[in-house]
Amino acid sequence: MKVLVINAGSSSIKYQFFTMATERVIAKGLVERIGEPQGRVVQEVDGQKREHRLPIANHSAAFQVIVRELMEGESPVIKSKDEIEAVGHRVVHGGEAFKASVRITEAVLKAIRARVPLAPLHNPPNLSGIEAAQALLPDVPHVAVFDTAFHQEMPPTAFMYALPYELYEQDRIRRYGFHGTSHAYVSRRAAAMLGRLVEHFRCITCHLGNGCSMAAVRDGHSVDTSMGLTPLEGLVMGTRSGDLDPAITFHLASVKGLDLGEINSILNRESGLLGLSGLSNDMRSVTEAAAGGHARAKLALDVFAYRIKKYIGSYLAVLGGAEAIVFTGGIGENNGAMRAAATTGLEELGVKIDAEKNAKARGEADVSAADSRVKILVVPTNEELVIARDTAEIAGK
């Protein structure tokens, strides 16, 4: 079966086209600057990248561009759109309605639409992507894979905020968690790497990218996670603050006279690595500046690592010990210094990193010292593969 995986954002669509027999990516690409006067398309086939520019009015036009690229690009990978046998869609917020991936029906679309208030930035473009794809490929199965699904087994003790209970009953205000596809994938890979069954395995997964989140995973299910009602809670991120005293928002309003939009922008777009360093949201830039003696860049790295360490400690307590701590995402996979900073000092808790292995790690790697009770692993994430697998399985039913 050949499966197209779609990740639709507000002004861009990322895609990967898989042949499931070998799980090989035949083509992948990005359509961006949708709605701007000049859009951009990049497609990669067999390591060869091709880029061109053209106006792309909306998601519907973008999806047509994707199918045309697959059919007519410099190295066409399909002869007709009929070769796309199923489409998998990343959907950020499934609320409490979805514990697993599902085939998209009218009822599923309605349920995703109903969660727009919970994810106003993410669900609307996800919906646009689904509608565009269904319009062009009406006869194939479309499958929704939710960022929230893996966390839906969390117990109420972990997902309830200590707010008036009616806010949960009436407005569904609770912890949902995100990056679920990534946490699920790397926790399963980690168990496999250690020769363990995921059904009897406890680990702490750290997804550190532009957005960052951690999960405590027991026996194949997330039992706690750092992101909350929205992806703002938890770790320090590129531009997001992560955890803070909620009263800071009232303080910003009353003392500085800021309105809700301005406060939202500070917490989501001007904080994190960018806010602390004053330089950049990008870990590489902040790391370079810190190495050159920039004090605030150094502070940003320290706060970032300290927050991860606090969550490791808390999730070791939640799980009553763990077999592994797993790092993934652009930072988790590539930044050994950050892995070391986040785990150093936890030796008494059985966590001991091997400096040499950690510095050399490429791809999947065990970077823990031989006598570390808790293994420290690096696992490159592959959310698209999980979406493709779920899609093929559901489409095949």
Nearer to ligand ADP, 228 or 329 (CB): 329
C-beta neighbour count of 183 within 10 angstroms? 30
* Closest residue by beta carbon to ligand ADP: 330
Among the listed residues 60, 64, 134, 210, the single contact to ligand ADP using CB under 6 A? 210
Q: Return the number of the residue (251 or 284) whose C-beta is nearest ligand ADP.
A: 284
User: Which 3-state string (H, E, C) describes 180-228?
Assistant: HHHHHHHHHHHHHHCCCCHHHCEEEEEEECCCEEEEEEECCEEEEECCC
Residue type, 124: P
Q: Which is nearer to ligand ADP, 387 or 395 (CB)?
A: 387
Figure out which of the listed residues 141, 209, 242, 336 binds ligand ADP, where binding follows CB under 6 A.
209
Q: In this complex, which beta carbon is closest to ligand ADP, that of residue 118 or of residue 283? A: 283
Q: Does 268 bind ligand ADP (CB under 6 A)?
A: no
Catalytic residue among 147, 224, 366, 390: 147
Least separation in angstroms between residue 244's CB and ligand ADP is 21
Return the residue of 16, 128, 152, 335 that touches ligand ADP, per CB under 6 A.
335
- Stretch near ligand ADP under the rule CB under 6 A, chosen from 54-62, 102-110, 277-285, 298-306: 277-285
Instruction: Based on the shown chain and the rule CB under 6 A, indicate whether residue 193 belongs to the binding site for ligand ADP.
Output: no
Contact between 284 and ligand ADP by CB under 6 A: the answer reads yes
Residue 210's nearest CA partner among 286, 115, 159 is 286
Among 329, 365, 375, 388, which residue interacts with ligand ADP (rule: CB under 6 A)?
A: 329
- Kind plus residue range of the DSSP H or E element containing 111: helix 106-114
Residues touching ligand ADP: how many (CB under 6 A)?
12
Token pair recorded at residue 213: 């989140």
Active site residue 147: yes
Are 16 and 23 within 8 A, CB to CB?
A: no
**Exposed / middle / buried, residue 324 (Cβ in 10 Å: 0-12, 13-18, 19+):** buried
Contact 159, 175 (CB under 8 A): yes
Count H helices and E strands in the chain, helices first: 15, 14
By CB under 6 A, name the binding residues for ligand ADP.
209-211, 238, 282-284, 329-331, 334-335
Which residues are catalytic, by number? 147
